């Protein structure tokens, strides 16, 4: 609100009740008029201390001239104060209005009853209006929050649908390209095993390496559809998060240098194995060991038997199947089997790099150019 508008509002808030007081008939209480003027001039206090503005109006209510400033003060009290405090101050205003009337023994019972009803309406009406508008504002804010939450949910569903569609497309591309690349690799290996021509054998070996490399690169590229930036360096954070969830996890590792594809595969092996351990063996301790060797790394995640009943659906899913495919993509092997102690072990053996760079076919002479 601008300064000019704020000043204009305050002039009206003070001027209208003050004019009503000045135009009122004098009462039998000498203090009523000056007290009412003071109450009108004290109305700006409602902006910071609504109860103080109401307190300044109580003497004027006793004197009979307090209703003009009291309407403003009680409305603001109900608009900006909690309900319990509002009821307390409305009660005080009611008694301030009602007591002088009840002490006038010349009035009839009917007049006193009507005065009590008027006092209740005069004290509770403005405050009730403020409370209603305050609740209306809260309801508007709640509806706005609900609308934002609904919009966020719709956007999340749309993002999920787009992600699922991208994943579906990626899987279709992977299946078709992977099938053909696998056929090329198999037929190249068969040619290398059956041919007696050294040049043809060399070409077959190179074709086989290129097919495998193309398949790995295709899978890695399709991973851009749903970017996966986790790797070996993120495993300590994963272990910490699992420990915070109440799982007893021990972690052993030596410094490991691996290609991004292998690093992501190692992270997913540990992540999926921890998830399965928490799901299928609640309360069991888990041991995570990363053991590097020249050119390779062994990942072992072992958990003991469950120590408490399953509290989640433990039916088998596709986690291990997908994990096996990911490890195979990195030219590794994966075994998952129960242990003799009643637990479960997941062991992956991967190279630190997905195959060394292979020579391209650019340096191979075309058969038609052979002598």
- Asked whether the predicted pLDDT for residue 312 surpasses 70, the reply is no
- Asked whether the predicted pLDDT for residue 149 surpasses 80, the reply is yes
Within a 10 A sphere around the Cβ of 126, how many other Cβ atoms? 23
Alpha helices, H only, the chain? 3-22, 32-41, 50-63, 67-80, 83-102, 109-194, 198-222, 235-244, 260-280, 319-329
**Tokens at residue 198, please?**
């050294």
Round the average pLDDT of the chain to a whole number and report it. Answer: 78
State how far the Cα of 269 lies from the Cα of 253, in Å rounded to an integer: 14
- Check residue 100 and give its pLDDT: 67
Average pLDDT over residues 83-103: 74
pLDDT in tens, 164-187: 777 777 777 766 777 777 778 777
- Comparing 2-11, 81-90, 130-139, 358-367, the range with the smallest average pLDDT is 358-367
State how far the Cα of 223 lies from the Cα of 79, in Å rounded to an integer: 56
Highest-pLDDT range among 97-101, 221-225, 346-350, 358-362: 346-350
What does the domain layout of the chain look like in residue ranges?
3-140, 160-225, 232-351
- Check residue 353 and give its pLDDT: 81
pLDDT in tens, 210-235: 877 777 777 666 665 445 567 899 99
- Asked whether the predicted pLDDT for residue 106 surpasses 70, the reply is no
State how far the Cα of 53 lies from the Cα of 165, in Å rounded to an integer: 63
pLDDT in tens, 254-284: 888 888 888 988 998 998 898 888 888 888 9
State how far the Cα of 1 lies from the Cα of 141, in Å rounded to an integer: 19
- Check residue 112 and give its pLDDT: 65
Contact (CB, 8 A) for 167 and 226: yes
As a CATH number, domain 232-351 is 3.30.565.10
- The HSE-up count of residue 141 (CA atoms within 13 Å, CB side) is 6
pLDDT band at residue 344 using 50, 70 and 90 as cut-offs: very high
- Comparing 18-22, 344-348, 349-353, the range with the smallest average pLDDT is 18-22
Average pLDDT over residues 17-25: 75
Cα→Cα distances 276→85, 232, 280, 306, 345, Å: 55, 19, 6, 12, 10
pLDDT band at residue 357 using 50, 70 and 90 as cut-offs: very low
For 324-335, b where at least 16 C-beta lie within 10 A, e where not — what string? bebbebbbbebe
Contact (CB, 8 A) for 285 and 321: no
- Sheet holding 333-338: strands in order across? 249-253, 286-293, 296-303, 344-351, 333-338
pLDDT in tens, 24-70: 777 767 677 777 778 888 888 887 888 888 887 777 877 677 777 88
* DSSP 3-state of 358: coil
Who contacts 30 (Cβ-Cβ below 8 Å, separation ≥6)? none
Task: Count the residues in the chain.
Answer: 371
């Amino acid at each position: 609100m601008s300064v000019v508008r704020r000043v204009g509002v305050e002039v009206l808030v003070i001027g209208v009740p003050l004019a009503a007081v000045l135009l009122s008939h004098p009462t039998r209480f000498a203090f009523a008029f000056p007290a009412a003027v003071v109450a009108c001039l004290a109305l700006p206090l409602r902006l910071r201390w609504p109860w103080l503005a109401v307190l300044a109006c109580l003497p004027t209510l006793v004197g009979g001239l307090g209703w003009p400033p009291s309407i403003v003060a009680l409305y603001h009290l109900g608009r900006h104060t909690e309900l319990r405090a509002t009821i307390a101050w409305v009660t005080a205003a009611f008694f301030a209005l009602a007591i002088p009337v009840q002490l006038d023994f010349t009035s009839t019972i009917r007049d006193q009853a009507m005065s009590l009803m008027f006092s209740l309406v005069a004290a509770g009406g403005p405050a009730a209006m403020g409370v209603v508008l305050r609740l209306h504002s809260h309801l508007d804010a709640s509806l706005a929050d609900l609308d934002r939450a609904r919009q966020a949910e719709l956007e999340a569903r749309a993002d999920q649908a787009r992600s699922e569609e991208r994943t579906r497309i990626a899987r279709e591309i992977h299946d078709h390209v992977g099938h053909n690349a696998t056929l090329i690799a198999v037929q190249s290996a068969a040619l290398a095993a059956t041919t007696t021509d050294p040049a043809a054998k060399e070409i077959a070996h190179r074709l086989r390496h290129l097919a495998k490399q193309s398949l790995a690169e295709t899978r890695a590229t399709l991973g851009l559809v749903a970017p996966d930036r986790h790797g070996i360096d993120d495993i300590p954070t994963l272990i910490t998060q699992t420990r915070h969830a109440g799982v007893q996890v021990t972690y052993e590792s030596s410094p490991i240098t691996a290609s991004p594809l292998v690093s992501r595969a190692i992270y997913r092996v540990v992540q999926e194995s921890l998830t399965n351990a928490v799901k299928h063996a609640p309360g069991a301790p888990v041991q995570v060991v990363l053991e590097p060797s020249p050119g390779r790394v062994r990942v072992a995640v072992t958990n003991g038997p469950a120590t408490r009943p399953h509290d989640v659906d433990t039916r088998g899913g596709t986690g291990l199947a997908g994990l096996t495919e990911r490890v195979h993509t990195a030219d590794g092997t994966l075994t998952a089997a129960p242990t003799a102690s009643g637990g479960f072990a997941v062991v992956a053996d991967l190279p630190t790099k997905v195959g060394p760079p292979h020579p391209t076919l650019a340096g191979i002479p075309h058969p038609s150019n052979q002598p």
